[in-house]
Amino acid sequence: MAALPRLVCASSVALVVWAGFCSAVCVEVPSETEAVQGTHMKLLCISCMKREEVTASTVVEWFYRPEGGKDEPIYEYRKTNHEFPSRFSGRLQWNGSKDMQDVSITVLNVTLNDSGIYTCNITREFEFEIHRPLFTSSRLIHLTVVEEAGEDFTSVISEIMMYILLVFLTLWLLIEMVYCYRKVSKAEEAAQENATDYLAIPSENKENCAVPVEE
């Protein structure tokens, strides 16, 4: 049991170090692809830049394509934010970072009609001394909007494992309590038997049992 606090402490330290390391690193994480009707959905679009590419002007264009339809512009960032007239008018929010590596947007109050394909186009013009190269990239997000949130398989497994661990710890605690109780009971019985045997010895034998004292 003494090793448990040390294990928790070591895990906490490792988590802090890992978080500090990851906070300084750009990771291109894919966006979630399922949203619940009436909630806010963040369309994640991350395009990492290398250290020598930090000085650059960035243009971000967001498009939406319904099933069987064509791409239509819905949002643009070109030094300032611009929202195009569309079904999303008044429901789009910029969530990009200052370094323009995260150029995500959020759709507010998602509806069932918002299902479709979202395209995030990033264009960067790098400011080198000799030339200004352009870099372009795209991210596709196939979004499905559902009426109610489904049970996540991972969360179900986590809950099952939590209950199994709880039952195991409870049984282990009961076993420890029974073991300690039996050990204490045996010690008390042994003490009572010794006391009974001592009382059953005649008085003269008790005197003989005394340890002689050397002069």
Residue 179 has what pLDDT? 87
Residues 126 and 167 in one domain: no
Radius of gyration of the chain (CA): 35
pLDDT digits (tens, 9 = 90+) for 6-43: 443 444 434 333 333 344 467 888 899 999 999 999 99
Confidence band for 3, pLDDT divided at 50, 70 and 90? very low
Residues 114 and 90 in one domain: yes
Residue 212 has what pLDDT? 54
Considering 148, 172, 197, which residue would you say is the last residue of a domain?
148
User: What average pLDDT does the segment 47-51 reach?
Assistant: 77
Q: Give the pairing of strands 134-146 and 34-36.
A: parallel
Does residue 204 fall inside a structural domain? Answer: no
Does residue 68 fall inside a structural domain? Answer: yes
Residues 124 and 175 in one domain: no
CB 1 within 8 A of CB 71: no
Asked if residue 122 has pLDDT above 90, the reply is yes
Does residue 158 fall inside a structural domain? Answer: yes
Does residue 98 fall inside a structural domain? Answer: yes
User: What average pLDDT does the segment 132-159 reach?
Assistant: 83
Does residue 55 fall inside a structural domain? Answer: yes
Residues 88 and 136 in one domain: yes
Residue 9 has what pLDDT? 41
Residue 156 has what pLDDT? 72
Residue 192 has what pLDDT? 79
User: What average pLDDT does the segment 72-97 reach?
Assistant: 94
- Tell me the residue range of the domain where 76 lies: 27-148
Compare 126 and 45 and report the one with higher pLDDT: 45
Residue 187 has what pLDDT? 83
> How many domains does the structure of the chain reveal?
2
Structure tokens at 33: 């692809």
Confidence band for 70, pLDDT divided at 50, 70 and 90? very high
Residue 139 has what pLDDT? 94
CB 47 within 8 A of CB 61: no
Residues 71 and 143 in one domain: yes
* Mean pLDDT rounded to a whole number for the chain: 80
Residues 31 and 128 in one domain: yes
User: What average pLDDT does the segment 90-94 reach?
Assistant: 95
Q: Sign of the CA dihedral 166, 171, 173, 174?
A: positive
pLDDT digits (tens, 9 = 90+) for 195-212: 776 666 666 555 555 555
CB 139 within 8 A of CB 119: yes
Question: Is 32 strand, coil or helix?
Answer: coil
**DSSP secondary structure of 86-140:** STTTT-EEE---TTSSB--EEESS--GGG-EEEEEEEEEEE--SS---EEEEEEE
Does residue 21 fall inside a structural domain? Answer: no
Asked if residue 54 has pLDDT above 50, the reply is yes
User: What average pLDDT does the segment 71-82 reach?
Assistant: 94
The CATH number covering residue 144 comes to: 2.60.40.10
Residues 156 and 143 in one domain: no
Residues 125 and 136 in one domain: yes
Residues 50 and 140 in one domain: yes
Residue 198 has what pLDDT? 63
Residues 82 and 154 in one domain: no
How many Cβ atoms from other residues are within 10 Å of residue 168's Cβ?
10
Does residue 9 fall inside a structural domain? Answer: no
Does residue 202 fall inside a structural domain? Answer: no
Residues 82 and 101 in one domain: yes
Residue 183: partners with Cβ closer than 8 Å, 6 or more residues away: none
CB 105 within 8 A of CB 94: yes
Residues 60 and 100 in one domain: yes
Residue 110: partners with Cβ closer than 8 Å, 6 or more residues away: 35, 36, 37, 38, 39, 40, 41, 145
